[in-house]
Amino acid sequence: MFTDILEKYFDIKADQSIRIGRQTRFFSNGLLYTIVSVTHVEQEVLIELYEMSEHMAKHSDKKVSRFVAGKDGKYLITDENEDYVALQNQFHAANRNRKIGRQLARFHNRGKSLQATITTLNRAGEWKDYWAVRLDQMEKVWAGLLHEPPREEFDKMFIESFPYYMGLSENAIQYVTDTELDEQLHRFDYGTICHERFYDELWKDEQEIRNPFDWVFDHPSRDISEWIRDRYFRSSRTLYPDMTKFLNEYQSLSPISPFAWRLIYARLLFPLHYFACVEEYYNTNSQSRKKHLEETLARYLRDTQDYERFLRSFYSMAGVKQKLPAVDWL
């Protein structure tokens, strides 16, 4: 079907299809093409993604996906009442000497010179509000479950654990507030192109494709903290050497300011992993997925003290030289 769309609307005849990362892509004349369904994506979002993509491509990011204009000169096409865009990538030989921290710092540095105004996808300075809304929504679900006996083991774990995670979330919100009052902003703290959730595997496929549909505009600490969070829950045993290597690589191009260190810490303090797990559980109908999420939540609750220890020692583990405030009760 997608090969038909490429040919009909973009005049591109695919030679073959290949699976790269999470998507099927199509080869034509040495270039890779991806069709993305955007029926439910706001037009303002598409415009901002296009602006960010063009900026990165023009600033020598050879791995970024660029939007392709159709035969009529428009980027958005409609086929059988569904909207689509096409993305194009150059084809690269696999990079064996991959330094993810350095690559991310370079990516952020390019994004900081973006001239286009980003509004819909701008998350800079918005964390507290997003977190407060998310916390409020989850508290309503929790309060609703309190008045009926737990039907599933997950319900029981959620009911018992939520007050603890609510306290952690409130601490994270307060920590951002204090950071904004206490710290001076440095050049490092300019907003840049970031990712909704950055993790090691995102750029792990052979092409290391930078997909604009993964992006938001935010403070660079967002990506650093989410990489650390993902690595912690993937393998806490190897976290220290992995994190040290990642942070050293990053800071070889871009030193991290005290303001940014505190935002990284605040973001790790906010239990995004817990929220994502609970939200997905109550939004999925798949019984196998529910079972997996129940096991995930049980592991989070079992390892609560380990995560507290990680938060308590984070600044020293990360090699932060400045004396920055910790959360007392940890």
pTM: 0.94
Structural domain 2-91, CATH architecture: 2-Layer Sandwich (3.30)
Q: What pLDDT shows up at residue 205?
A: 67
> For residue 138, which of 118, 106, 164 has the smallest C-alpha distance?
164
Q: What pLDDT shows up at residue 155?
A: 96
pLDDT at 93 over 70: no
C-alpha dihedral over 89, 95, 100, 102, to 10 degrees?
-90
Report the Cα–Cα distance between both ends of the chain, in Å, rounded: 54
pLDDT, tens digit (0-9, with 9 covering 90-100), for 136-180: 999 999 999 998 888 899 999 999 999 999 999 999 999 999 999
Q: Where are the domains of the chain?
A: 2-91, 127-317
Give 87's DSSP letter: E
Q: What pLDDT shows up at residue 147?
A: 86
CATH code of domain 127-317: 3.90.1200.10
How much is the average pLDDT of 278-300? Answer: 96
pLDDT, tens digit (0-9, with 9 covering 90-100), for 300-313: 999 999 999 999 99
Q: What pLDDT shows up at residue 236?
A: 85
Q: What pLDDT shows up at residue 21?
A: 65
CA distance 145 to 157: 11
pLDDT, tens digit (0-9, with 9 covering 90-100), for 54-66: 999 999 999 999 9
